[in-house]
Structure 1
Amino acid sequence: MNKIAPSELILNPDGSIYHLNLKPEQVANNIIFVGDQNRVSKVTKHFDSIEFEIQKREFKTITGTYKGKRITVMSTGIGPDNIDIVMNELDALVNIDLVNRVPKKTHTKLNIVRIGTSGSLQADIPVDSFVLAKYGLGFDGMLHSYDCEAILEADVEDAFIKHTNWSPRKARPYIVKNSSELEEKLISDKVFSGVTATAGGFYGPQGRVLRLAIQDPELNKKIDNFEFNNTKVTNLEMETSAIYGLSKLLGHNACSMNAIIANRANGTFSPDPYKPVEELIVYTLNKLAQ
């Protein structure tokens, strides 16, 4: 078996993985992603004990125990490009022998849950509610850098492209299903579910106009109206599809939970956006600990 070159698998002088600055023993098999580094401690303040904490750049990691379950909480920063770093380095920590630079013979499967904030695209999904992403719909194109055809929902993609008259100058939208195993653990009558769309930016890519005209001013309305097998696009954010795609390719479970703090259809914003996030954190921790 050929060794992975130092230029491809980059390690720090202490043997930790380059960007995350972590070693294998510092990562639990159950992982919570948050975007904001300041939200990590808002999750881990509920822990019974903390065993490890580190930060490099926007990547802050704390590992500890909640109701007997060992959990790692990690900030990913914003966007699919950051997810590419986080997912590949996390997988390397558990599935590559970092000393000998070869893949391990036994595969370790991680359970990854994103806790994020998002804006609802549907009028009937109000602010302060929770949305579980049954599918991730990516507009960013990142996943196309990998051999990913086998995990994509091509029929849904084709229907979406036709419905929106998607510009051929943009990356082809890709759709990946979540982990059914994690969905069963996290779903309840408190949670809406549907398709979470992932944009490659916050302003133009999500239809916001400040001083720049956008390619398709009607795109958000087309996205709102898209439906496939009774499933609609529920919300728009910047990480889920990349997490789903890379998790599935690397053999991990992933599910995205979103606190809805804005409703784009109604033009409303949560009067206290911190409250639904705190409630979603406690909800998710309890579901993972069961």
Structure 2
Amino acid sequence: MSKKASELILNADGSIYHCNIRPEQLADLVITVGDPDRVAKVSKYFDSIEFQTQKREIVTHTGSLNGKRITVISTGMGTDNIDIVLSELDALANINLETGEENEVHRELQFVRLGTSGALQRDIPVDSFVMSTHGLGMDGLLHFYEDSELVRDIEMEEAFFEHSAWDDAKAIPYIVKGSTSILETLRSENTFEGITGTACGFYGPQGRHLRLKPNPFDINEILSSFSYGNYRVTNFEMETSAIYGLSKMLGHEALSLNCIVANRAAGTFSQDSYKSVDLMIQYALERLTKD
């Protein structure tokens, strides 16, 4: 069934509405960053750049490094923006934009998030890199899609729900595992691994107290004290769970690599987060483009 114009929205030049790119301008390897300014900080390491565009906070560069074609795109902050960007990138890969029909052959994308995050465990220092084995979503996004239970770790969800005594008035947490193959590519003695908590906001949802008191006030302790098998919650941010959930439902691979700029348990913050993020970018690009 072809998609209605109000569903599959295109610009006058045939590019998809928010991302402002066409299918041939999208590489199979997609690096997502939150900050629009970080796109150029990634693409400056490319051997060549073939395409650039920007619409609102979504900046896109496509180029090549070591013979590997890469798209780097900014999503902005939050799972609501991830819903837009991931859905449109999948449409570019798997829907004929002229007819609105799904392509017969599925095109699989690899999504690698290069983000910043706050550690919840004291033993994970600032300026270190954390790979997300799972995304724990407290935003509720995946519950707006049918069959999300097919990609979620229901047993781990139930264990967290019991551990946290979760408030039924809030969105029910969901948990999705990231890509094992990309994790193996990025893994080294320099990386930490664990469950990444994804919040629907930066202040109250992450336990920060300015003028309004968070509820629950001890969300960091609830997360940091949760473990399931060999997994523990290592860090907090605002995008990973949505990237993992949508990617898996759409048949793509996804992995988050986060630079730790703050340690919430120790109350510390990086003295030079820009340098640390740059080192993470170089680390990821070297491993992702290695023969």
Question: What range describes the TM-score normalised by the shorter chain of this pair?
Answer: over 0.9
Note if contact 2:197-2:223 (Cα within 8 Å) is conserved in structure 1: no
Q: Which residue of 1 aligns with 2:136?
A: 137
Write out per-residue CA displacement over residues 182-207 of structure 1, whole angstroms, 9 at most, x where no aligned residue: 11111111100000110000000000
Q: Tell me, yes or no, if structure 1 residue 3 matches structure 2 residue 2.
A: yes
Q: Specify every segment of 5 or more residues in structure 1 that has no aligned partner in the other structure, as ranges.
A: none
How far apart, CA to CA, are the structure 2 residues paired with 1:189 and 1:37?
A: 30
Shift of 1:220: 1.4
How far apart, CA to CA, are the structure 2 residues paired with 1:289 and 1:173?
A: 35
In the alignment, residue 114 of structure 1 is paired with which amino acid? R
Q: Which residue of 2 aligns with 1:169?
A: 169
For the aligned residue pairs, the C-alpha RMSD in angstroms reads: 0.6
How far apart, CA to CA, are the structure 1 residues paired with 2:107 and 2:184?
A: 21
Q: Which residue of 2 aligns with 1:209?
A: 209
In the alignment, residue 276 of structure 1 is paired with which amino acid? S
Q: Which residue of 1 aligns with 2:93?
A: 94
Note if contact 2:137-2:242 (Cα within 8 Å) is conserved in structure 1: yes
How far apart, CA to CA, are the structure 1 residues paired with 2:223 and 2:162?
A: 11
Give the TM-score taking structure 2 as reference length.
0.98
Runs of 4+ in 1 over 6 A off after TM superposition: none
How far apart, CA to CA, are the structure 2 residues paired with 1:271 and 1:218?
A: 26
How far apart, CA to CA, are the structure 1 residues paired with 2:68 and 2:96?
A: 25
Write out per-residue CA displacement over residues 151-202 of structure 1, whole angstroms, 9 at most, x where no aligned residue: 1111111111111111000011000000111111111111000001100000
Q: Which residue of 1 aligns with 2:277?
A: 277
Q: Tell me, yes or no, if structure 1 residue 61 matches structure 2 residue 39.
A: no
How far apart, CA to CA, are the structure 2 residues paired with 1:27 and 1:152?
A: 28
Q: Aligned pair count?
A: 289
Shift of 1:219: 2.0
Q: Tell me, yes or no, if structure 1 residue 178 matches structure 2 residue 196.
A: no
Q: Which residue of 2 aligns with 1:268?
A: 268
Q: Which residue of 1 aligns with 2:14?
A: 15
How far apart, CA to CA, are the structure 2 residues paired with 1:70 and 1:252?
A: 17
The worse-fitting range, judged by mean Cα deviation, of 84-93 and 179-188 is 179-188
Q: Which residue of 2 aligns with 1:85?
A: 84
Write out per-residue CA displacement over residues 56-98 of structure 1, whole angstroms, 9 at most, x where no aligned residue: 0000000001111110000000000000000000000010000
How far apart, CA to CA, are the structure 2 residues paired with 1:244 and 1:53?
A: 26
Write out per-residue CA displacement over residues 90-128 of structure 1, whole angstroms, 9 at most, x where no aligned residue: 000010000011000000000110000000000000001
Structural mapping, 1:100-119, within 5 Å: 100-119=99-118
Shift of 1:213: 1.6
Percent identity over the alignment is 56
How far apart, CA to CA, are the structure 1 residues paired with 2:219 and 2:13?
A: 48
Q: Which residue of 1 aligns with 2:145?
A: 146
Q: Which residue of 2 aligns with 1:223?
A: 223
Q: Specify every segment of 5 or more residues in structure 2 that has no aligned partner in the other structure, as ranges.
A: none
SS at match of 2:161: helix
How far apart, CA to CA, are the structure 1 residues paired with 2:17 and 2:151?
A: 28
Note if contact 2:186-2:288 (Cα within 8 Å) is conserved in structure 1: yes
How far apart, CA to CA, are the structure 1 residues paired with 2:227 and 2:100?
A: 45
In the alignment, residue 180 of structure 2 is paired with which amino acid? S
Structural mapping, 1:247-266, within 5 Å: 247-266=247-266
